Amino acid sequence: MIRILIRSIRRFGLWCPGLALLLLASAARANGLALSAEERAWIAEHPVLRVASSRSYGPFTFVDAGGAVRGLSIDYATRLQQLTGLQLQLMPPAPFADSMQALRGGRLDMMMSLRDAPERREFLAFTRPYISVPAVLLRRRVAGAAGAEAGELAPGEPVSVSRGYAVGGFLAERFPGNPLQIESDDRNLLRRLAGGEIGAGVADLASATFLMRSDGIGNVRVVADIGFAYDLGIGYRRDWPMLGRILQKGLDQIGADERQKIADRWIPLDRDSAGLRREVVIAATGVLALGLAAVGLLYAWNRALRRQVVARTEQLRQELAERRRLQDADHARAVAELANRAKTEFMSQASHELRTPLNAVLGFAQLLENDAARPLDATQRQRIAHIESAARHLLVLIEDMMSFSRLESGSLAVEPRPLDAGPVVQRCVELAMPAAQAAGIALRYAPDTQQRMALADPVRLEQVLHNLLSNAIKYNRRGSWVSVSAGPREPALFCIEVADGGLGLSAEQQSQLFQPFNRLGRGATTEGTGIGLVICKQLTERMGGRIRVHSEAGEGSRFTLELQAAAAV
């Protein structure tokens, strides 16, 4: 039905755009998927989407004996067509690396079953994952050879991966001493492993199992989970965010039961058992031809095979339970991400809406205070001062909320560059001095003339230092002190330290220190929202650095900002 509607849209869309949108809306309602008018218009404007396919990425996308492209990805693509009205045109199979180049160059529009990776975000955006598959270490089974099936990579041992796969970057970072050997695809990797040309390889569990069964490779086995999972979603053109919204709506419409059926179809649990039973039948026929003398041998062999079937069945049952656990975890993560996005959007909207009237409050308070024609008495001036103080405090809180929401959405710009950190630290200390004096705190900083270069964004560095100094003064004791120091610690590291002799933090409070909106049990009389240090941590990490904390309850705290050192320019 959807394809008939799409053909109708193609035929009449140029002359009757209203009819095209009406047909798409009817198709979406028929499948229980609510598309907005904007989304339906986008589909009408993009009648055909080019989808990458592969000849040998089974069980996700592969070419069968009849020349047809099949697999788990194709089932999902077909279902998305039915749900959304998108017309997905499967392009001729190509190697994975070639498909990635085509996506980068705009010759393809999307790819199914693709893992999100930083280097791919330059030209792709991603839906949430709809299936998760672990990456595993594979070795050749060699009877009687000691160490042939070791569960870990030996130091310096080469390991093979397929070209362009995301696990390559993980291996290079996790096992820097093990050189990578790049294979054209998983099928070639498994064949070279089975032939003894290579000693170790890494592939995802589903693809490796599928290829070993379909190609009859029996002397390769899984020996370990390497701690990396392919959380597979749909990669689509980064300049088409509307396509991502439509695809995600379609994926969300596919329930857990239907996803399980699709997974079971392409990652079946009884393939080994069926293969073993066929071997038993063939063996039994041969034994009968040889005569009664081989009956005892057949009986012993049959018992051994039964033991293998029982062991393999138990292993597959455990794999199924783990897969279901991962799917439940994916669903819970998706729900949490949705709630987090809603919270971030609300904070951003509320911050913008609150700042306008608050600026008006500050402006009119200043007009009252400075009105020469209507001078205020001492009591009125004191009340105006309270209004201004409360409004400025509220403005700081709103700015923190806006920074936090922009950090979480990824829209806050951070541009590290080499800079002399001395003037930045000096300026922050001078701005904090009035607050320290009002609180009865001795603020100490001994600047020097040495140029201290660090890699940082000057605006964001100042924001972090203001927050640390404000906390050091706020959570302190009258008559105590705050000390600031800055300088290189080692050739590649530049540190800024803010220490105080204040209240300090318990071990439990330190474990919760960077949780958003966690006030650490402090009373309502203490100002703050509980997001200042979260913003500091995220900004510092975006600049390539980190924050360290050392504190004891009642003994004060020391926050150390570690940044990358930079050469003088």
Residue-by-residue DSSP string for 124-183: EEEPPPSEEEEEEEEEE--TT-TTTT-SSPPTT--EEEETT-THHHHHHHH-TTS-EEEE
Residues in Cβ contact with 339 at an 8 Å cutoff, skipping those fewer than 6 apart:
none
Q: Which residues pair with 499 in a beta bridge?
A: 483, 558
Q: Per-residue pLDDT for the chain (569 aa), expressed as one digit of tens each?
A: 444 444 544 443 433 444 444 444 445 444 558 889 999 999 999 989 999 998 878 899 988 888 899 999 999 999 999 999 999 999 999 998 899 999 999 999 999 999 898 889 999 999 999 998 899 999 998 765 444 456 788 899 999 999 888 888 899 999 999 999 999 888 899 999 999 999 999 998 888 888 888 888 889 988 888 888 888 999 999 999 999 999 999 999 999 899 989 988 887 644 443 333 334 334 433 444 455 556 677 777 888 888 888 888 888 889 888 888 888 888 888 877 777 666 666 666 665 566 667 677 777 777 777 777 888 888 887 888 778 767 766 766 676 666 666 666 666 778 899 988 888 898 999 989 988 999 999 999 977 666 678 899 988 899 899 989 988 998 899 999 999 988 887 778 889 999 999 888 888 888 888 777 666 555 444 555 667 888 888 889 989 999 999 998 888 899 999 999 887 66
Domains of the chain, earliest start first: 299-410 (1.10.287), 417-564 (3.30.565.10)
Edge-first strand order for the sheet with 481-490 is 442-445, 481-490, 493-500, 557-564, 546-551
What tokens does 451 get? 């140029």
User: Are 488 and 565 within 8 A, CB to CB?
Assistant: yes
User: Which runs of E-coded beta strand occur in 238-287?
Assistant: none
> What's the pLDDT at 448?
64
User: Are 161 and 207 within 8 A, CB to CB?
Assistant: no
Q: 3-class DSSP state for residue 443?
A: strand
- Strands 124-126, 159-162: pairing is unpaired
> What's the pLDDT at 287?
45
Q: How far apart are CA 53 and CA 57, in angstroms?
A: 9
Q: What is the CA radius of gyration of the chain?
A: 32
517 Ramachandran zone, left/alpha/beta (phi>0; psi -120 to 50): left
- The 3-class SS string of 467-521 reads HHHHHHHHCCCCCCEEEEEEEEEECCEEEEEEEECCCCCCHHHHHCCCCCCCCCC
Q: To 10 degrees, the CA torsion angle through 196, 197, 199, 200? A: -110
Q: How far apart are CA 11 and CA 17, in angstroms?
A: 11
Kindly tell me the burial class for residue 101, based on how many C-beta atoms sit within 10 Å of its own C-beta (0-12, 13-18, 19 or more).
middle
> What's the pLDDT at 253?
92
> What's the pLDDT at 565?
87
Q: How far apart are CA 9 and CA 327, in angstroms?
A: 37
DSSP string, 187-235: HHHHHHHHTTS-S-EEEEHHHHHHHHHHTT--SEEEEEEEEEEEEEEEE
> What's the pLDDT at 558?
93
Residues in Cβ contact with 86 at an 8 Å cutoff, skipping those fewer than 6 apart:
43, 49, 80, 246, 247, 250
CA dist list (Å): 35 to 23, 89, 318: 12, 21, 39
User: Are 202 and 171 within 8 A, CB to CB?
Assistant: yes
